[in-house]
Structure 1
Amino acid sequence: MEIGHIGLYVTDFDRMLAFYQQVFGFAVTYIARNDKRSIVFLTADPTSHHQLVLVTGRPDADQHLVNQVSFRLKTLAELRRVYKHLVDMGVGGLEPLTHGIAWSVYFPDPDGNRVEAYVDTPWYITQPHRTTIDLLASEDDIYALTEKLCRDAPGFKTMPVWSEDVAREIQPV
């Protein structure tokens, strides 16, 4: 099972659309605008019609109904490009870190929603875990630092071993 998509109510439709297209390279698969509501379906996966939906109609109150929206990337190089792009865009509140099981950058979108871009690592450690990292460092340095951190942390396993352990615990529905 995996999350198929997430929908967000937005206050500034065009600003949010531009932000997500610039940061993650989303393509528009459907868009409709009228006086009552605007909606857009976005994807960065050619096999998925939409991964993110933006819809007008967010309440004026400073209310965040979603803890975070997380986007799994394929490589550390891709995460580093996203991070550099966010820096170049002047996005504030960037939190580059490792959870041991992933390298991440957390940041606010223009409506203040918490967004995470992340890449899985090949290691597992007991969660929760947060260590700030420098995503502008070399990939070799990031790998070495994270591997040492993981090997020294409680619960260390390689991800394939952890996956086998979890597979035995999952009950069929």
Structure 2
Amino acid sequence: MTNICKPVEIGHFVIRTREVAPLVTYYKIFFGAKVACETYPITFLSYDNEHHRIAIILDPSAVPKPTGRPPPPTCGFDHIAFTVPSLGQLLRSYRLRKDAGLTPAYCLDHGLTLSMYYVDPDGNKVELQADSFEDKADAVRFMGTKVFADNPRGVEYNPDELLERLEAGESEASLLAGMLGRKTIANLRS
């Protein structure tokens, strides 16, 4: 199906909830979003020049997800991921979110990305990630390694430790050099 029209971006995501206000507050803080339109039963939010990136639908009959942090696995979409421009921005935004009371449920070095997984008030998971490689081909190359095959989930990391090192003057390149993906590819090249 080489002629099929491929999307150029994810336009928006929609959350069905029994309580709109907590989610609107959460995503306004999380993304720095603004309410683009509020019309019963849907609230639309945007964090850029798009008309909306998030729609939150009030549905009193919606069945709540199982609770937990992180929530227990269920069928269906597990999470949605957003890429930020750099590791430095991921870490500095982590501090801002943490100061606002939003902390990740867990953080993983997947090798190809460094990721932080957050859980909203309804139990939906949202991943923020920074690419570990400047060249996407290196990320694909890493996915073909035994290191990735043995553990595609990756390893946990401490964002406070990385943020402290960044704020002490260590470069993003130096931080990334010690992470799973870059170490693996560097070892393949040596």
Normalised to the residue count of structure 2, the TM-score between the two structures is 0.67
2:63 pairs with one of 52, 60, 64: 60
> Residues 37 and 43 of structure 2 are in contact (CA less than 8 Å); yes or no, is this contact kept in structure 1?
yes
Determine the C-alpha separation between the residues in 2 that align with 1:79 and 1:45: 17
2:26 pairs with one of 19, 22, 36: 19
Give, as a single letter, the amino acid of the residue that structure 1 aligns with 2:114.
W
> Residues 110 and 181 of structure 2 are in contact (CA less than 8 Å); yes or no, is this contact kept in structure 1?
no
> Residues 23 and 85 of structure 1 are in contact (CA less than 8 Å); yes or no, is this contact kept in structure 2?
no
1:109 CA drift (Å):
0.5
1:74 CA drift (Å):
1.9
Give % identity: 25
> Residues 29 and 97 of structure 2 are in contact (CA less than 8 Å); yes or no, is this contact kept in structure 1?
no
The equivalences for 1:4-153 within 5 A come to 4-33=11-40, 38-46=41-49, 48-57=50-59, 59-62=62-65, 65-91=76-102, 94-122=105-133, 123-124=138-139, 125-126=142-143, 127=148, 128-136=152-160, 137=162, 138-139=165-166, 140=170, 143-148=173-178, 149-153=180-184
Aligned residue for 1:168?
none
Q: Which protein is richer in strand relative to its size?
A: 1
- After TM superposition, the structure 1 stretch with the greater mean CA deviation from structure 2, 86-95 or 11-20, is 86-95
Q: C-alpha offsets along residues 83-116 of structure 1, whole Å, 9 cap, x if unaligned?
A: 2234334446621222122121002100001111
Aligned partner of residue 7 in structure 1, secondary structure: strand
Aligned residue for 1:160?
none
1:82 CA drift (Å):
3.0
Determine the C-alpha separation between the residues in 2 that align with 1:76 and 1:152: 16
RMSD over aligned CA atoms reads 2.5
1:79 CA drift (Å):
1.4
Determine the C-alpha separation between the residues in 2 that align with 1:132 and 1:95: 7
Number of equivalences:
150
Q: Which protein is richer in helix relative to its size?
A: 2
For structure 1, the 5+ residue unaligned runs are: 158-173
Give, as a single letter, the amino acid of the residue that structure 2 aligns with 1:59.
A
> Residues 100 and 146 of structure 1 are in contact (CA less than 8 Å); yes or no, is this contact kept in structure 2?
no
